[in-house]
Every structure is written in C-alpha cells, then in structure tokens.
C-alpha cells in the first residue's frame, strides 16, 4: 500500500489528525502509528517533528510532494504540512 493510499484509508476510517500543532500535541500525549510530513515543511517544524518521532519511537514518513499536494490528497483546499495516523 502506498503512502497516499494509507492516508486516504485513514481519512475514511477517521483515524487521522491534520495540522502541525494538533499533530505535535497528539504525538506528545499518545502513540501514533505514522507521522507524515510534506517535503517542503519549514526546517524548524521539521526538526521538532523529527525529535518527537524519535522520542516516541514512531515511524516518520516524508510525503513526496508539497504541502499543497498533501492537502489535495487529504481532500482539503488548504496546504497540510503535518498529519498523524492514529494507531
């Protein structure tokens, strides 16, 4: 299953957290299955997400597209830099 298919399946089953701030909060309080970031996420945000994924020992996937493209995959009309798929 591709990353895009995994994201779309998580959206259908409502097991997804969209947005940088909500994702960071979820990672700190819970144990997500996968963290996905867009290829063009700002470096400061990327560093915090990478650090959080290492601390919580969660797989970090880099979406091979921009935040706008990630938003389209999620069916949203706005860019998405970060999302979390719940376990």
Distance (Å, whole) CA 12 – CA 4:
12
Q: What is the pLDDT of residues 78-87, one digit of tens each?
A: 999 999 999 8
pTM: 0.93
Number of domains into which the chain is organized: 1
Contact 85, 15 (CB under 8 A): yes
Query: Which residue in this structure is represented by tokens 């970060």?
Result: 82
pLDDT band at 1 (very low <50, low <70, confident <90, very high): confident
Could you tell me which residue, 1 or 20, shows the higher pLDDT?
20
pLDDT at 56: 87
Q: What is the CATH number of the domain that holds 24?
A: 3.30.1330.30
Contact 53, 84 (CB under 8 A): no
Strands (E) across the chain are located at 16-18, 34-38, 59-63, 82-85
Q: Tell me the CA distances in angstroms from 25 to 3, 29, 32, 69, one per residue in order.
A: 22, 6, 11, 23
Average pLDDT over residues 4-11: 95
% of the chain with per-residue pLDDT over 70: 100
Range of the domain at 69: 3-85
pLDDT at 75: 95
């Amino acid at each position: 299953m591709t990353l895009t298919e995994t994201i779309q399946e998580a959206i259908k089953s409502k097991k997804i957290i969209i947005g940088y701030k909500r994702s960071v909060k979820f990672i700190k309080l819970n144990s997500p299955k996968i963290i996905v970031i867009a290829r063009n996420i700002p470096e400061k945000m990327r560093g915090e997400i990478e650090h959080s994924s290492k601390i919580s020992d969660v797989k970090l996937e880099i979406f091979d597209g921009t935040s706008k493209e990630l938003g389209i995959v999620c069916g949203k009309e706005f860019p998405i830099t970060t999302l979390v798929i719940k376990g």
